[in-house]
Structure 1
Amino acid sequence: MKESFSLDALLRDNIKKLVPYSSARDEFKGEASVLLDANENAFGSPYSKNYNRYPDPLQHLLKEKLYEIKGVPPEQTFLGNGSDEAIDILFRAFCEPMRDNVILVPPTYGMYEVSANINNVAYRKVNLTTDYQLDLDGIAAAIDGRTKLIFICSPNNPTGNSIRRQDIETILVNFDGIVVLDEAYINFSKQASFTKDLQEFPNLVVLQTLSKAWGLAALRLGMAFASADIISVFNKIKPPYNINQATQEIVLEALRDVEQINTWIRSTVAERAVLTEALAGIPQVQHITPSDANFILVKLEQPRELYTHLVEKGIIVRDRSKVELCEGCLRFTIGTPEENAMVLAAVEAFYQTGQ
């Protein structure tokens, strides 16, 4: 158990003093049949189902269901408008603009840098090693007294590999700020989630999402798991009703079908192996990074020309060829067997014709 961590020492002064927005229904306990406190339309909605009442601001039913699946208690769970909301709140809670800094380990998910820029917070980049693992010495050298957050994505985007667990634990033990571990792709990995270690590491925030394995990207529901004290800070800062009622209802229904998700995960992992093996047999493919995610990073000849060729065929992949440490690479999301066959045929045709 890490003992040197002090949440109060990390928080911005204005957040410590913040009095969160409170509605009459937050203050009222019990059942009511006449709701005349929130200036809602009492007659209903112009729809087959009424959405005239504000949603549960803390999504109690949804968090209880997630507790059954994830094993993290509701008081240690934050739900946001995608993981991006949680990322933004971390900056607003802990980073004083133009004073504090955070550490990023590229190549990695681009929203960490975007959120730093939006919040006017300096970021220090410590590149991953050539095998896409943490440079522990470089990270240690980059930390100073104003470093508040370290962002680590595992499995990593865009490389797809998992970061060594021992290295993440080393940072958690030795860094007195917040370690943000983004596990957006954890469902596709054999690695265990760090949500099981929240009690041991009070400075850990784990991000997950329902946009990937759960197939609910359009609903924009992200999750943050941390100590109850950190989650209470999130709830102070978030808008009062950040998750709408329709999303809460649809997600609650989707969470009842875990077996369907597990079937899709197994299919995706199997297709990942099939596509990886097929692409590796093409002479112009130089390297494929072993992946624990639902995508593969492929280094190949003429990446930009191939990308344009695929677009012309109506196939959209991600061009990462100009990203440092990903030079010459395209990122392929794993699709259905039919979609993967189309991608493979298009890649083979491109190299065969020399276009």
Structure 2
Amino acid sequence: MTDQGPSSVEALASRVERFVRDVVVPYERDPRCGAHGPSEELVLELRAKARTAGLMTPHILVDGSHLNQRETAIVLRKSGLSPLGPVALNTAAPDEGNMYLIGKVGTDEQKARFLAPLIAGEARSAFFMTEPADEGGAGSDPSMMKTRARLDGNHWVISGRKAFITGAVGARVGIVMANSGTDERLAATMFLVDLPDPAIKVERVLDTIDSAMPGGHAIIAIDELRVPADQILGEVHEGFRYAQVRLSPARLSHCMRWHGAATRAHEIATAYAVKRQAFGKLLIDHEGVGFMLADNAIDLKQAELMTDWCAGLLDEGSLGTAESSMAKVAVSDALFRVADRCVQVMGGTGVSGDTIVEQVFREIRAFRIYDGPTEVHKWSLAKKIKRDALKGNDGR
């Protein structure tokens, strides 16, 4: 938490940037950064440094209030200048989105028990929604949810399997989403759970293209998990509605953090292009290279503006479902183009681990799928366009 108020957001962002560049970046080559994310030991070490610097969870103020979305964007972009930055500063997914949701929906008792240790950076969390595709479970279509929750006295009993659960290994707080309805009527409920729990078993941690998130992404089996009724997050059967409350800000937070990473990759590629010579002149003086860097500058600015536009709508009270889909598609595609060009400009060095550019490329490629693939968002937008058109607005 930070004692900086909204009037000093730029100063706060500058402090975050300095911390990431000076303290976090040197850890990028630490052997404790593995294929399934930084180790728990490294997470704790980085967070201790952020806490000492007064920058733990910088987007949440000491009184528990949040910076608004436009202000959060300024800070989170700086936290993303290193893949380890969001981990160190406690602005990473899924914790950032989970903190937002519990803060919006949770009771005072739930906030004290589950939210407070997350904000303090003393615990990590996991969001259990996605299910294995080979079992026909929920993914981009949550209505396919197979995990069931049944009422047994004053407890709910949950069983099912979940997939791609980010950060489950090492998490202490879980939000489990399950079908609490009937065979005839699907309804989802969210449950807050303490982790680890013997009824929640990690079957395996997947090998994925990205490697920035602690705990990686796991396949989970839930077998007769008993949850007291007072640990329902919000109201029973309202899980899908709460998911929408979480999703729009979470999509934007991804855009903010990865904008920082793409900016850093662009800086590295530019530094390479103004030092490396080929065919008698600097790389940047070759039109093919110079134009790629120019396109990067354009894409980065457009991504920033798109994020800020959607953030402004959320700050005005809009749910921002369609707008966050638009931003997520536009920004993830733009940032991927930036990362791809950086690799290309740097040639062999770009595909090596000698700089962070190669990892940024992998991470942002995954971003185009996480929180909804580009094609699902476009399909959703197309449905909205059709609905609006059928209401009678034919353009005249």
TM range (shorter): under 0.3
What TM-score does the superposition give when structure 1 sets the normalisation length? 0.26
TM-score of the aligned structures, taking structure 2 as reference length: 0.24
Please identify which structure carries the higher helix content. Answer: 2
